[in-house]
């Protein structure tokens, strides 16, 4: 009996030793991968940020088509970083805040500089005011998105997304360069009200479709598959015109949804959302304020 018990004990110790070595090896292999996965979304966001910065430099230098292309590069990076973070389950508050700061530069400042240097400069002060309005509305839109993340319908955006507004200005510049138009007055007369409209749509409550809730594993209708295939073909063969058409259709989708009777689900105002988040984060401070109100 004793030899059998000793053998069982030795076998258990061997299994523990082997399992411990396996866990150590797994830790040595998995932890660097996790660090790399966490670094990937931030790297993509940084590329988008630098694309917006370089777009501003190109606009100031007079290379408007390159500036518009760099905004579209930032647009692609903005779609990739969030998806990579969700697929790798590395989403964090830091990533959300960093992405918002990047969007202010890539989709707020860069398109405004492009619009002013390319089309709005002839109207001097008024053009600068229009471009400044676009920047302010973009920052307000991003701030509202951050505080209303948990209170809105995931299938709809409240107001025009900032990347969509930037893509509209960039695709307009690309299409203008492709068709070799040369009419500064007409361009200024069109882009000034367009920039104001985009700025107001960003801070409005017009619902816009969100593609974050799409599940590609589900079956899709054949008509949708054919439409997507045709769109991809045109995007490859004629990207200058296709990007402009797609951007225009997305801008018009919001008013179309509102005309159908859809309304944004978020009922809270911006200030109320901020106050609610502060009260939830510090319940003691909220109780103190309530007590002071009762005493007064």
Which tens digits make up the pLDDT trace of 50-108?
A: 999 999 999 999 999 999 999 999 999 998 888 887 777 777 788 888 898 999 999 99
- Mean pLDDT lowest among 69-78, 111-120, 214-223, 233-242: 214-223
Question: Tokens representing 136?
Answer: 């302010």
Task: Calculate the average pLDDT of the chain.
Answer: 80
pLDDT confidence of residue 155: 74
Single pTM value for the model: 0.75
* Angle, helix 93-103 to helix 124-147, in steps of 10 degrees: 170
Longest dimension (CA), the chain: 101
Look at residue 55 in the predicted model and tell me its pLDDT.
96
pLDDT surpassing 90 at residue 152: no
* Exposed/middle/buried for residue 267 (C-beta within 10 Å: 0-12, 13-18, 19+): exposed
Q: Where are the alpha helices (DSSP H) in 203-267?
A: 222-237, 239-259
Q: Is the dihedral of CA 283, 284, 285, 286 positive or negative?
A: positive
Residue 28 above 80 pLDDT?
Answer: no
The CATH architecture assigned to 41-214+222-281 reads: Up-down Bundle (1.20)
Pure H helices in the chain: 2-61, 64-87, 93-103, 110-115, 124-147, 162-178, 184-202, 222-237, 239-259, 270-281, 283-295
């Amino acid at each position: 009996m004793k030899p059998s018990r000793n053998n069982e004990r030795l076998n258990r110790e061997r299994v523990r030793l082997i399992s411990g070595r396996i866990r150590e090896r797994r830790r040595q292999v998995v932890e660097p991968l996790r660090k790399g996965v966490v670094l990937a979304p931030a790297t993509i966001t940084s590329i988008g940020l630098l694309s917006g910065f370089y777009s501003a430099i190109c606009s100031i230098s007079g290379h408007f088509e390159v500036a518009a292309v760099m905004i579209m590069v930032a647009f692609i990076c903005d779609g990739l970083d969030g998806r990579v973070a969700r697929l790798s389950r590395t989403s964090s508050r830091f990533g959300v805040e960093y992405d918002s700061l990047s969007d202010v530069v890539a989709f707020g400042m860069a398109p405004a500089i492009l619009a002013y240097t390319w089309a709005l400069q002839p109207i001097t002060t008024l053009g600068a005011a229009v471009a400044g309005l676009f920047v302010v509305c973009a920052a307000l839109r991003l701030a509202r998105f951050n505080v209303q993340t948990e209170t809105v319908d995931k299938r709809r955006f409240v107001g025009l997304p900032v990347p969509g507004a930037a893509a509209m200005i960039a695709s307009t510049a690309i299409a203008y360069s492709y068709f070799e138009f040369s009419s500064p007055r007409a361009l200024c007369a069109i882009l000034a009200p367009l920039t104001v409209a985009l700025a107001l749509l960003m801070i409005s409550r017009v619902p816009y479709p969100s593609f974050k809730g799409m599940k590609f594993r589900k079956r899709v209708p054949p008509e949708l598959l054919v439409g997507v295939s045709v769109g991809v073909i045109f995007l490859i063969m004629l990207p200058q015109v296709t990007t402009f058409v797609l951007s225009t259709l997305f801008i018009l989708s919001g008013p179309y949804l509102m005309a159908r009777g859809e309304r944004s689900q978020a009922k809270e105002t911006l200030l109320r959302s901020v106050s609610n988040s502060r009260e939830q984060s510090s319940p003691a401070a909220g109780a103190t304020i309530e007590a002071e109100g009762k005493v007064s």
